[in-house]
Amino acid sequence: MKVLVTGAAGFIGFYTSKVLLSKGHQVVGLDNINDYYDVNLKYSRLKELGISKTEAAEYNTLCQSHSEDFTFVRINLEDREELPKLFKNEKFDIVCNLAAQAGVRYSIENPETYVDSNLVGFLNILECCRNNAIKHFVYASSSSVYGMNKKIPFSTDDNVDYPISLYAATKKSNELMAHTYSHLFKIPTTGLRFFTVYGPWGRPDMAMFLFTDAIVKDKPIKVFNHGKMERDFTYIDDIVEGVVRIIEKSPSNRIESQEYYKLYNIGNNNSVKLLDFIKEIEINLGKVATKDMMEMQPGDVVRTWADVDELIKDYDYSPNTSIKDGVKSFIDWFKDYYN
């Protein structure tokens, strides 16, 4: 199949592209390589996919990897001129939209970026899917849509009408927009609410990376809500296995039953205490963190926990990486990548 993966220079998009390529699919990766975090990490991921920094940096220029199965193009999702041309020329079967402005805390200071990438950009992608008879549109939502949901584990049947950050509001909006396009234009869409993804090549703005980096540099780590937080940490390989299963399975049975719109949680189905997570990092680094205990951050939630029964039932999804193994893989990569 020919798959467009947006956000291909990002953490999850990079892995998704890699696994799709290893399974013999043709992948076109798209990213605007913005500087929300270290762009060199984004270029290094693309290098792993066979694209050099000089090639990738050019705007709207298709570059081919040595294997020829991977093509990369730097385009903004907001670009209403070039995005439709790309769709017309490349004739994708499937679109996997992982490009977005991520991060809960950043959305409080930079709301416009979220509207540009996550709302305007998302609409442009939907329009391209509509105009190019895309067979299946798979996109990233987030566990943050659950806001202060008290009922655990979080189920896709729970009410998510009360987001507490603009980031969450844009992700919830994506689900609503996808529903509308599924209904009006009969496009099979599948939304995935990701739960705190971590692992090698992970994002520098997320806890795993921030903690490791600070501990290595003998700097204190900021522990919000005095450590009284829990997250359904999900290892990148488990996430990508789920994403690829969804991409590979034809939605034909859904078309027959007119079930064009689908939504799943994708997590580890387990909630880990933040302080236990930090302990695991300390064990792997052989160093104890200096912890600055802080108040809860605006926009943050105390606990996340994914109910993934639907994904198990429909896709035989089986996350199996323990925190112990996952944290070790990240630390091994971190030491190697940053010498």
* Residues designated catalytic: 167
Rounded to whole angstroms, how far apart are CA atoms 245 and 16? 11
Each residue 11-30 as x (binds ligand NAD by CB under 6 A) or -, in order, gives: xxx-----------------
Considering the complex, state which of residue 1 and residue 123 has its C-beta at the smaller distance from ligand NAD.
123
Region of 5-13, 248-256, 261-269, 280-288 interacting with ligand NAD (CB under 6 A): 5-13
List Cβ neighbours of 26 (8 Å cut-off, separation of 6 or more): 1, 2, 3, 69
Rounded to whole angstroms, the Cα distance separating 120 from 123 reads: 5
Three-state SS string over 292-308 comes to EECCCCCCCCCECCECC
Q: Is 39 exposed, middle or buried (0-12, 13-18, 19+ CB in 10 A)?
A: middle
Interface mask toward ligand NAD for 86-125; x: CB under 6 A: ------------xxxxx--------------x---x----
* Residue with the CB atom nearest ligand NAD in the bound state: 10
Q: Which residue type is seen at 328?
A: K
Tokens 């789920």 correspond to 242
Q: Does 264 bind ligand NAD (CB under 6 A)?
A: no
Q: Which of 1, 19, 33, 312 binds ligand NAD (CB under 6 A)?
A: 33
Q: How far apart are CA 214 and CA 152, in angstroms?
A: 32
Query: Does residue 57 bind ligand NAD (CB under 6 A)?
Result: no
Angle at 59 between CA 53 and CA 60, to 5 degrees: 120
Identify which range of 88-96, 147-155, 192-200, 247-255 contacts ligand NAD by CB under 6 A: 192-200
Sign of CA dihedral 57, 61, 66, 67: positive
- Answer for the pair 330, 280: CB distance below 8 angstroms, yes or no: no
Q: How many residues does the chain have?
A: 339
Contacts with 35 (C-beta within 8 Å, 6 or more apart), sequence order = none
Instruction: List the structure tokens of 83.
Output: 């995005």
Residue type at 248 in one-letter notation: E
| 190 touches ligand NAD by CB under 6 A | no
**Which amino acid is present at 145?**
V
Distance in Å, CB of 31 to ligand NAD, minimum: 5
In this complex, which beta carbon is closest to ligand NAD, that of residue 78 or of residue 158? 78
Question: 132 or 255: whose CB is closer to ligand NAD?
Answer: 132
- Contact call for residue 203 and ligand NAD (CB under 6 A): yes
112, containing H or E segment: helix 111-114
Only one of the segments 3-11, 176-184, 224-232, 261-269 lies at the binding site for ligand NAD (rule: CB under 6 A); that segment is: 3-11
From the CB of 107, what's the least distance to ligand NAD, in Å?
10
Q: Which of residues 64-93 bind ligand NAD (CB under 6 A)?
A: 76-78
274 interacts with ligand NAD by CB under 6 A: no
Residues in the interface with ligand NAD (CB under 6 A) total: 27
What string marks each residue from 126 to 155 as x (binds ligand NAD by CB under 6 A) or -?
Answer: --------------x-x-------------
**Dihedral over alpha carbons 168, 174, 176, 181 (to 10 degrees):** 180
265 in contact with ligand NAD (CB under 6 A): no
Q: Residues in the site for ligand NAD, rule: CB under 6 A?
A: 7, 9-13, 31-34, 42, 76-78, 98-102, 117, 121, 140, 142, 194, 196-197, 203
